[in-house]
Amino acid sequence: MSFDRRTFLRTSAIAGGALLVPAALAGPVNAAAPQFAHGVASGDPLPDNVLLWTRVTPTPDATPGSGAGPTVELGWEVATDPGFGTVVASGTTTTGPERDHTVKVAAGGLRPGTEYHYRFTFDGVRSPAGRTRTAPATEADVARLRLGLVSCSNWQAGYFSAYRHLAARSDLDGVLHVGDYLYEYPVGGYGARGVTVRPHEPATEILGLADYRRRHAQYKSDPDLQALHRAVPWFITWDDHEYANDTWSGGAENHQPDEGPWAARKAAAHRAYFEWMPVRMGPEGRIYRRFRWGRLAELSLLDLRSYRSKQTTPSSGDPGDPDRTITGDPQMAWLTSGLAESDARWKLVGNSVMITPISLSNIEARFLEALGELIGLPVGSVAANADAWDGYTADRQELLGQLADNRVTNTVFLTGDIHSSWAADIPLDRSSYWWNRNSAATEFVTTSVTSDNIDDILKVAPRTVSPLAEAALRTRNWHLEYVELDSHGYSVVDVDPDRVQVDWYYLNDRLSPTSGVRYGRSMATASGSQRVRAADGPVG
């Protein structure tokens, strides 16, 4: 920004007039006023309340992470119509450099199960208008819930066309992002088959508070990400790359002693995340939380990084050690009691890493190293998916045992992390599953928005060799019903009283900012079945 404040306000006031266009009809978000260069977002909807977010640039020097700029006041308003003719909630709030000029407002007094439109105002300039909705009343009989499901959106590995295609849909109630919303690597650190498509800002690996703020700002400058944020509310949890690769409670694989204390880096990542994301912070900075969609569904969002033990390796640690944990005891108690006590038809779990057990013992050597890189295994190990629930089998067995003991049915895990597509029954006892088919829950895993998967790691053409690995995986793992290791894209989760169905959609080319999309596969689990089966076709 090389203009002065007066020019800054005058030019953006002209742009602000265009922002009165209804959100559903507005053009690209990157044409917005520079004061609101990072768009708007909403999240964590309750029956009477929804969280609204934006970031304001009050002066040209108040760039993200700069610590510069004044404390300022913004107005906000919520209306029932896109033209803001009927405003039902409004107010003012302040922000400043101490929170990187981000704004979060819990807009209350709203009606359950209702669509709303919202916007912010600073110095007479309006933000883009966003569209959101509240959750249905707690005891409402709800016919349907439909969510976009996304994970692993790496700026350097391509374009966020998956977000654009989801934003173009008019049938979504929200978006569930299950982790790796951004990546911490330096320029060239992790791209598309080793090639940087769009360089990260800052160019170095992010370590301090200013770094994390700047990286969040870069991701929120993406027009497709902005479009999806302003279209629907989001439910979001983190995985490791919001901090550093393979994060655990006391460190991370991608954190070295010469990079300073882990506690300081973790605190910086945590603070920037809660500033920049439309996410409610619980007691003591807690992010695991629960949402209800009438009597139809309850969604539990997990935090599988903050409290976990360090990952095992082939030479150290026992995945079955009962003293090891992926959830921590308080979160496990919260999860198991919540699932057991819920009277919702479906118990959905936003789960950042795969809970389904997998064995790689019959995989050919050419696939083994690539699969190990994809799912967090040390090279040469076939023992466990060490960064996921396979590396913490005592916690997994406690959770699944609680589901069985309390006769909890219709538990569905919605997962990301491993840059590929999976649908599976989750065996209560994997050793006997081949003959008794005793499943405690089901899991659907969405692929990456952009991050490398098997064909990228092997540097081969898509769908040329991966079908062999997919077939081998299903032969050794009878509980796997669908595996696709090559494609990038997103999923749509459709919930009704009778079943949960997931549709996978795949990008034609993640390297193209205008990529088209193709339908991949549909899988579903029927109420009471605890099993996954093929569905007839996509919803919507």
**CATH number, domain with residue 92:** 2.60.40.380
Q: How far, in Å, CA of 210 to CA of 188, rounded?
A: 20
Q: Is residue 449 part of a domain?
A: yes
Q: Is residue 209 part of a domain?
A: yes
Q: Are 246 and 309 in contact (CB under 8 A)?
A: no
Domain boundary among 133, 159, 174: 133
Distance of CA 294 to the CA centre of its chain: 22
The pLDDT, as a whole number, for residue 368 is 81
Q: What are the backbone dihedrals phi and psi of residue 430, each rounded to the nearest 5 degrees, phi first? A: -65, -30
Mean pLDDT (the chain, rounded): 92
Among residues 499, 261, 221, 241, the alpha carbon closest in space to that of 376 is found at 241
Q: Are 99 and 275 in contact (CB under 8 A)?
A: yes
The whole-number average pLDDT for the span 153-159 is 98
Clarify whether residues 287 and 329 are in a common domain.
Answer: yes
Clarify whether residues 14 and 34 are in a common domain.
Answer: yes
State the pLDDT confidence band at 377, using cuts at 50, 70 and 90: low
**End-to-end CA separation in angstroms for the chain:** 43
Clarify whether residues 191 and 279 are in a common domain.
Answer: yes
Angle in degrees, 0-180, between the axes of helices 466-476 and 365-375, rounded to the nearest 10: 80
**Exposed / middle / buried, residue 396 (Cβ in 10 Å: 0-12, 13-18, 19+):** buried
Clarify whether residues 156 and 100 are in a common domain.
Answer: no
- What is residue 55's three-state secondary structure? strand
Q: Is residue 139 part of a domain?
A: no
Q: Is residue 539 part of a domain?
A: no
Q: Is residue 138 part of a domain?
A: no
Clarify whether residues 38 and 72 are in a common domain.
Answer: yes
Clarify whether residues 365 and 243 are in a common domain.
Answer: yes
Total domains in the fold of the chain = 2
Q: Is residue 140 part of a domain?
A: no
Instruction: Please list the alpha-helical segments (H only) found in 250-385.
Output: 262-276, 329-341, 365-375
Segments forming the whole domain that contains residue 444: 145-534
Q: Is residue 322 part of a domain?
A: yes
The pLDDT, as a whole number, for residue 326 is 98
CA distances to 44, 98, 104, 469 from 120, rounded to whole Å, are: 18, 20, 11, 50
Clarify whether residues 117 and 258 are in a common domain.
Answer: no
State the pLDDT confidence band at 203, using cuts at 50, 70 and 90: very high
Instruction: Please list the alpha-helical segments (H only) found in 376-432.
Output: 393-405
Distance of CA 136 to the CA centre of its chain: 22
Clarify whether residues 317 and 440 are in a common domain.
Answer: yes
State the pLDDT confidence band at 413, using cuts at 50, 70 and 90: very high
Q: How far, in Å, CA of 289 to CA of 350, rounded?
A: 10
Clarify whether residues 119 and 158 are in a common domain.
Answer: no
Clarify whether residues 403 and 526 are in a common domain.
Answer: yes
User: Which uninterrupted H or E stretch holds 423?
Assistant: strand 421-427
**CATH number, domain with residue 323:** 3.60.21.70
Clarify whether residues 43 and 159 are in a common domain.
Answer: no
Structure tokens at 534: 């093929």
Q: Could you tell me the pTM of the whole model? A: 0.93
The answer to whether residue 385 scores a pLDDT higher than 90 is no
Q: How far, in Å, CA of 451 to CA of 156, rounded?
A: 9
Q: Is residue 540 part of a domain?
A: no
The pLDDT, as a whole number, for residue 374 is 78
**Exposed / middle / buried, residue 430 (Cβ in 10 Å: 0-12, 13-18, 19+):** middle
Domain boundary among 82, 101, 133: 133
Angle in degrees, 0-180, between the axes of helices 262-276 and 209-219, rounded to the nearest 10: 40
Which tops the pLDDT comparison, 381 or 377?
377
Domain boundary among 133, 156, 187: 133
Clarify whether residues 76 and 215 are in a common domain.
Answer: no
